[in-house]
A = this chain, B = another copy of it.
């Protein structure tokens, strides 16, 4: 069947394939934070012509149905159809913010190393063609040339040798040999390797971010982002580990994430006219479970005491082994994990923060579906993790979305009229709310008395901004033509639970090492908040400790930033290994006092207001 889109494009759907899947296959991504299982209700499209079988539509209103709006993941075309994709359902691939940040990283790299050293090396071999008197074999000819260049101990895989002889003859014996960092030959090219590419991939529990990088000049060519389709098997790492223990579960989870990366990468390569084979290196970073699942490794022992991962320091394996659709021989470097719940993403984060290079004691927090915390300096590092849920990544929130165009990223509420003023990424009509917007909104709701310390809505306040639906009260952030954008009481609860877990984690970890907050000189906040996080507001809701604002730095998605550094620099890979080796990993769940701290933090900002003197002062002034 054909699916025509109102903008003029046409894609083909196989029998039994959903509109969502057919579009995705063709590089057209819809927002679907549930991974396409009919739950999040975000992949709405309007069917203008043609008949589809609808599986579930509980997320759609009567009005939606009257207007022929369907969930693309639940609609299966039965004939050629014509659809229209509303702006707010389109997943924006590509991120201009990332590109500008990468420039800063490049400058840092240049200060560390003169020449980029990705996990592939290459050397030009200008071989003497064989003669009857110089009749050594093709492989020995290559080895002789390498010996002359002082490169010894190269290993040659069967795959390499299979295509080697033809490649040598086709290139008239002048070739470039590409090899992995650990000295395994992987390809012969007829030309010099000035245009080779690598990918850095951040595999988050909720979102996946990919950088396509020119390994020669370090430039960031393109960026892709998508939701992790593993979400269809569970929102957090624990439910996914449970799924993995069920028959075939590991394979499903592995395939979901690898497909996500491949599905995101291929249109990007096409757009930039780069062949798959020219992508010769990959660097992955993710939490321990994500890294293991990417490689198809059973994560079950991570979940059970004594919480042991299969692997922390990953060997460099090949893209073909992972079924990653780049050059099959490309080395794939996986950032080392520290422990069962502190993974390569945090090692990447510490690396990108550079706190491991400074004598100052710093606190690093990565806010995602898990909250990971690291404390330390250039001498010692200690780390722990807590589960926050996917709310800051836009999942599990009625109108949540990632920090891309159309996301409400800041909110100001007039204390008298309760009318909100919104800041929207890209200055466009808002289509949802991202993590920083939620923090702002909750802080404002709290300070204007719209919600109480427990996050409950003040139902008696005279404002039409609060609407009480079957599912409970909600605050209307934006009145839309088709639908309003709201923040519900359940959304607020989600955020409060998440911030409580993070704050409790920080408190318990510092207590464990006998440090008080005031000797922390720098606080790095990482996470996919886009380019904006109002630190002040995050303190107001009790998510961050009450410290002077100048100590805080918001440093964005450091998992992808650290991957990018490791893709381009051997020195960075060495430092990542050192960070992972040096970090002491604490299991929060077995530390005494975590549950108490968590329960106390389930208030705005906290049950003990004295921990938040600034907030106390401001609150007393406002009410």
Query: At the interface, yes or no: A371 with Cβ under 8 Å from chain B?
Result: no
Flag if A297 contacts B162 (CB, 8 Å).
Answer: yes
A307: which B residues are within 8 A, CB to CB? 132, 135
Flag if A312 contacts B158 (CB, 8 Å).
Answer: no
Chain A residues numbered 219-242 whose CB sits less than 8 Å from any CB in chain B: none
Flag if A312 contacts B140 (CB, 8 Å).
Answer: yes
Query: At the interface, yes or no: A100 with Cβ under 8 Å from chain B?
Result: no
Flag if B166 contacts A298 (CB, 8 Å).
Answer: yes
Stretch with Cβ within 8 A of B (4 or more), from A313-321, A415-423, A462-470, A552-560: A313-321
Flag if B301 contacts A165 (CB, 8 Å).
Answer: yes
Closest CB of chain B to A582's CB: distance in Å? 14
A297: which B residues are within 8 A, CB to CB? 161-162, 165
A190: which B residues are within 8 A, CB to CB? none
Q: Which residue in B139, B155, B169, B317 is a CB contact (below 8 Å) of A311?
A: B139
A315: which B residues are within 8 A, CB to CB? 155-158, 161
Flag if A137 contacts B312 (CB, 8 Å).
Answer: yes
A313: which B residues are within 8 A, CB to CB? 137, 139-140
Query: At the interface, yes or no: A603 with Cβ under 8 Å from chain B?
Result: no
A162: which B residues are within 8 A, CB to CB? 296-297
Query: At the interface, yes or no: A124 with Cβ under 8 Å from chain B?
Result: no
For A, the interface residue count at a CB cutoff of 8 angstroms equals 43
Closest CB of chain B to A214's CB: distance in Å? 28
Known contacts: A139-B311, A311-B161, A340-B135. The answer to whether A130 contacts B306 by CB under 8 A is yes
Query: At the interface, yes or no: A562 with Cβ under 8 Å from chain B?
Result: no
Q: Which residue in B165, B298, B305, B309 is a CB contact (below 8 Å) of A298?
A: B165
Query: At the interface, yes or no: A115 with Cβ under 8 Å from chain B?
Result: no
Q: Could you tell me the distance between the alpha carbons of A306 and B173 in the complex, rounded to whole angstroms?
A: 15
Contact bitstring A139-157, B, C-beta under 8 A = 1, else 0: 1100000000000000111
Flag if B132 contacts A587 (CB, 8 Å).
Answer: yes
Query: At the interface, yes or no: A310 with Cβ under 8 Å from chain B?
Result: yes
Flag if A337 contacts B155 (CB, 8 Å).
Answer: no
Closest CB of chain B to A142's CB: distance in Å? 10
Q: Which residue in B305, B321, B339 is a CB contact (below 8 Å) of A158?
A: B321
Flag if A130 contacts B308 (CB, 8 Å).
Answer: yes
Q: Could you tell me the distance between the alpha carbons of A137 and B182 in the complex, rounded to whole angstroms?
A: 22
Q: Could you tell me the distance between the alpha carbons of A182 and B184 in the complex, rounded to whole angstroms?
A: 13
Closest CB of chain B to A322's CB: distance in Å? 8
Query: At the interface, yes or no: A105 with Cβ under 8 Å from chain B?
Result: no
Query: At the interface, yes or no: A138 with Cβ under 8 Å from chain B?
Result: yes
Query: At the interface, yes or no: A273 with Cβ under 8 Å from chain B?
Result: no
Flag if A164 contacts B310 (CB, 8 Å).
Answer: yes
Closest CB of chain B to A48's CB: distance in Å? 48
A164: which B residues are within 8 A, CB to CB? 310
Chain A residues numbered 338-354 whose CB sits less than 8 Å from any CB in chain B: 339-340
Flag if B310 contacts A161 (CB, 8 Å).
Answer: yes
A321: which B residues are within 8 A, CB to CB? 158
Query: At the interface, yes or no: A136 with Cβ under 8 Å from chain B?
Result: yes
Flag if A311 contacts B137 (CB, 8 Å).
Answer: yes
Query: At the interface, yes or no: A585 with Cβ under 8 Å from chain B?
Result: yes
Flag if A135 contacts B310 (CB, 8 Å).
Answer: no
Query: At the interface, yes or no: A392 with Cβ under 8 Å from chain B?
Result: no
Query: At the interface, yes or no: A131 with Cβ under 8 Å from chain B?
Result: yes
Q: Which residue in B166, B306, B585 is a CB contact (below 8 Å) of A131?
A: B306
Contact bitstring A106-141, B, C-beta under 8 A = 1, else 0: 000000000000000000000000111001111110
Query: At the interface, yes or no: A590 with Cβ under 8 Å from chain B?
Result: yes
Chain B residue nearest in CB terms to A302: B137
Q: Could you tell me the distance between the alpha carbons of A309 and B161 in the complex, rounded to whole angstroms?
A: 12
Q: Could you tell me the distance between the alpha carbons of A291 and B93 in the complex, rounded to whole angstroms?
A: 50
Chain B residue nearest in CB terms to A316: B155
Q: Could you tell me the distance between the alpha carbons of A162 and B315 in the complex, rounded to whole angstroms?
A: 13
Flag if B312 contacts A587 (CB, 8 Å).
Answer: no
Query: At the interface, yes or no: A211 with Cβ under 8 Å from chain B?
Result: no
Flag if B165 contacts A585 (CB, 8 Å).
Answer: no
Query: At the interface, yes or no: A333 with Cβ under 8 Å from chain B?
Result: no
Contact bitstring A177-207, B, C-beta under 8 A = 1, else 0: 0000010000000000000000000000000
Apart from A135-B340, A135-B587, list 4 A-B contacts with CB within 8 A: A130-B306, A135-B307, A138-B308, A157-B317
8 sample A-B contacts, Cβ–Cβ < 8 Å, listed by A number:
A132-B590, A137-B308, A137-B310, A138-B311, A139-B311, A140-B312, A161-B295, A165-B297
